[in-house]
A and B are shown apart, each in its own frame.
Chain A
């Protein structure tokens, strides 16, 4: 059998959904980088991760995706979408675009998506847990409470995140996400 006669068929269609998820992944990726400079808790979470930490969150079978990891100086960076040439230590795959839509329209939290078998993760479990915690904090900064409440199990109480930290952090995360 000549395998070349049977080329890999890339999934087409659902272009609008793919564009929406791609934009959301870009924003979330940039916001994680921003939050790692702004928020003490996110900084500490990344501090506990290994120096070669590199996370690839992508949608099967053919994207979109985003990569966030530590650079040579240990700084957290959004590193685009292409995993070529990068050593991924945590690979989080959303099994299809519909699952990604549920996650990125915030109808399902990361935990519920995992529970509903929409995610496949390869990598260290503690790293996965740390990344989920980071994602929850970043979503709290990016979105209003009414939407974040769907995306996380428990919206942070005052004792966990003071209004001062939340609103000042939100401004700084937005500025850094969309500027530099």
Chain B
């Protein structure tokens, strides 16, 4: 295994995992001297009754400074500003974010504004913009996918400009991550499927992209193993609390991994689909994952091949030749997507044209693929992708992903081949 000449890895999030992990909330708040936390969530989470265990855990000892439950599915700068104003008005001193990726990222955005006493999130875009410690943040994920509870990044949309902005800083790491199986128990099958595939994508890209390192590799491999062993159980038997806890841990592990090794073209293209078509992030990831691995095969085929072990187990790995493993890994992911489509009654898409909204309307019309391709080139994740992509490459990937056909690998413009195993085109 090649060790990078230099790398950095940081994860200082205290993780509390268990079937009743939320009960530790008062202790966590006391340890950061907080007496008036603000709870940020969305209507779906609140409606599902998931704020009740949080309130119950806080008990009479801690009084929340307010509950904001209006975070939209695709949070934006305006929402962040609104919540920051409410936080200041209620004189809160910490944040408990209860929700999926959008809620957690929104809470991170709010934390920037209230800690920096600012009204303009744009001042903090990009690396190195934050210079000091922020207010305490406790992340309680209610999906097992984004891994936002473990990441130093917040992705917040600016709907006026149709872009997703990246806020990367070590100061955005939450103080605590609470992985409580009760919080994902009510997650519908389709959501369980694509959020878990989101975590799978984090782990696969962390393992195969340019900034990989031994520490992020180890968490990525464990995340892939936990997801592949528990995803079908979590989808078919929502009440299986062991599977729920395993998926929550997998998501946190994958988050820890990609937060330290970043992600590549799958995320770059996925962010752009999300920004233009407002498709949930995990859905984009599920569809694009095999395409990203396929595109980079001549660079990182050997690494993709290694993923067959956590995906399919020792027997499948050992019975395949080294040069067969990369394609078997991709095949296994495609099969996983197909199985999830069956298990969710057709709600889990396997290609872009299958993505529909609640009314059954297609969310990614073919005409917008060129806009998506153009926008994806400006996404920071492209830096970490092993192979370069220009507009035509991104469009080719998108067209194949739209149709649900594998890439024609002969058409990929290849830079220097660095894969240690030769994968036939």
Contacts and interface: CB of A to CB of B under 8 A. Distances in A.
B122 to A, nearest CB: 9
Interface string A107-141: 00011101111101111111011101100000000
8 contacts: A114-B211, A115-B262, A116-B5, A116-B7, A122-B128, A129-B379, A129-B382, A149-B415
A153 interface: yes
A72 interface: no
Given A111-B210, A115-B210, A128-B380, A153 B125 contact: no
B346 interface: no
Nearest to A114: B383
Given A111-B384, A116-B6, A130-B378, A122 B127 contact: yes
A152 B416 CA distance: 10
A52 to B, nearest CB: 14
A135 B4 CA distance: 24
The 10 closest A-B pairs by CB, nearest first: A154-B415, A115-B210, A126-B378, A115-B211, A153-B388, A154-B388, A125-B380, A122-B128, A129-B378, A117-B8
A162 interface: no
A157 interface: yes
B343 interface: no
Contacts of A124: 125-126
Interface string A21-44: 000000000000000000000000
A159 B393 CA distance: 12
A123 B126 contact: yes
B378 A125 contact: yes
Contacts of A152: 388, 415
A155 interface: yes
Most buried by B among A110, A115, A159: A115
B384 A153 contact: no
B391 to A, nearest CB: 10
Contact of A114 (B125, B384, B386): B384
Contacts of B383: 110-111, 114-115, 129, 132
A73 interface: no
Interface in B69-104: none
A160 interface: yes
A173 to B, nearest CB: 20
A22 to B, nearest CB: 23
B300 to A, nearest CB: 12
A85 B350 CA distance: 54
B415 A155 contact: yes
Interface of B: 4-8, 125-129, 163, 165-166, 209-211, 262, 377-380, 382-384, 386-388, 390, 413-416
Contacts of B6: 116-118
Tell me if B's interface is mostly helix, strand, loop or mixed: loop
Nearest to B268: A129
Given A115-B211, A152-B388, A157-B413, A122 B4 contact: no
Interface of A: 91, 93, 110-112, 114-118, 120-126, 128-130, 132-133, 149, 152-155, 157, 159-160
A116 B378 contact: no
Most buried by B among A111, A114, A125: A125
A133 B129 CA distance: 23
A111 B386 CA distance: 9
Nearest to B376: A129
Contacts of A121: 126-128
A159 B413 CA distance: 10
Given A116-B7, A120-B127, A120-B128, 7 more contacts: A111-B383, A115-B210, A115-B384, A117-B6, A129-B382, A132-B383, A154-B388
Contacts of B125: 123-125
Contacts of A123: 125-126
B211 A116 contact: yes
A80 to B, nearest CB: 23
B416 A149 contact: yes
Nearest to B375: A126
A153 B415 CA distance: 6
B44 to A, nearest CB: 30
Nearest to B414: A154
A111 to B, nearest CB: 5
B35 to A, nearest CB: 34
Nearest to A110: B383
Contacts of A126: 163, 378
A149 B7 CA distance: 23
B259 to A, nearest CB: 13
Contacts of A149: 415-416
A116 B4 contact: yes
A128 to B, nearest CB: 7
Contacts of B209: 115
Nearest to A111: B383
Nearest to A154: B415
A71 B139 CA distance: 46
